[in-house]
Amino acid sequence: MAKLGKRLKKAYTTVDRNKVYSLSEAIRLVKENAKAKFDETIEIAMNLNVDAKKADQNIRGVIQLPHGTGKTYRVAVFAKGPKAEEAQKAGADIVGAEDLMEKIQAGEMPFDRCIATPDMMGLVGRVGKILGPRGLMPNPKLGTVTLDVAAAVKAVKGGQVEYRTEKAGVVHSGVGRASFDEKSLLENVHAFVDVVTKARPAGVKGTYIKKMTLSSTMGPGVTFALEA
C-alpha cells in the first residue's frame, strides 16, 4: 500500500486540479497515470444540474459505445422455447425460466445484465427485490424487456452501457480501458456525452452539465471540456 500511495501522490502532481483540460489532454494524462499491473478501466463522471429525487429529472438509458468498454459482460436471459434458443445462439451465458429464478433466489447470480421476454416478467417479478437493488431488473426502457432477445444480447456483448443519475446528480460509467488508443477513447467519450446531453430533462433550467471528469481505476480525476 505504501508503494501505491507514492505512485498516486506522484500522479496527482501531474494534474492541475484547478484546470479544465481539453478531452484530448485529459485522455493523455489519464492514460499516462494508469500504471497499475492490470488494464485499468477509464471512467467518465458527469455532474449534472438535476434533482435525482424528481422522477422527470432522474435520467436513465443505455448507450452503444462505438468501441465497446473492453469488459466482457455475462448475460442472463429469461425466456422459453424458440426465444430461449435465440438467446443461446446470440451468446447469452445463462438462459432459463423457473430454473433461473430459483438460482437467483438461492443467491446464484453469475451475470452482469439480465434480459427477459415480456411473457417472463411475471416470473422475473418474483425476484425483483433481489435484482432491483443490484440494478439488474429488466426494463423495457433500457431494451432489456424485449421479444428480440438476440439483438439485446448482442448489444450488451457489443459494448452497450447503462447510465443513470445518482443521488448527487452524477452520471458515471466505464468508457474503455487504459490499453485503448486515444482515438477510440475520444470517440467513446464523445458518444457518451452526446447521449447524456440529449437526455436533458425539460424541467432543467440554466447550465445542465456542471463538470466532467475522466479517470482510471487507480488514477486521479482530470476535469475536461469537449473541444468546440
Q: What is the pLDDT along the chain (228 residues), one digit of tens a residue?
A: 445 566 666 777 888 888 999 999 999 999 999 988 999 999 999 999 999 888 889 898 999 999 999 988 899 999 999 999 999 999 999 999 999 999 999 999 999 999 999 999 999 999 999 999 998 999 998 899 999 999 999 999 988 888 989 888 999 999 999 999 999 999 999 999 999 999 999 989 899 999 999 999 999 999 999 975
DSSP per-residue string spanning 108-145: ----SEEEE-GGGHHHHHTTHHHHGGGT----GGGT-B
pLDDT of residue 55: 86
Any idea where the domains of the chain sit in the sequence? 18-69+160-225, 75-157
Distance CA(123)–CA(117), nearest Å, equals 11
Q: Does domain 75-157 have CATH number 3.40.50.920?
A: no
pLDDT of residue 71: 87
Distance CA(110)–CA(191), nearest Å, equals 29
φ/ψ of residue 215, rounded to 5 = -155, 165
Mapping DSSP to helix (H, G, I), strand (E, B) and coil, where does residue 77 land?
A: strand
Distance CA(70)–CA(6), nearest Å, equals 28
Residue corresponding to grid cell 443519475:
165
Mapping DSSP to helix (H, G, I), strand (E, B) and coil, where does residue 90 land?
A: helix
Residue corresponding to grid cell 475522466:
214
pLDDT of residue 227: 75
pLDDT of residue 88: 97
pLDDT of residue 58: 87
Q: What is the CATH number of domain 18-69+160-225?
A: 3.30.190.20
pLDDT of residue 1: 40
pLDDT of residue 2: 40
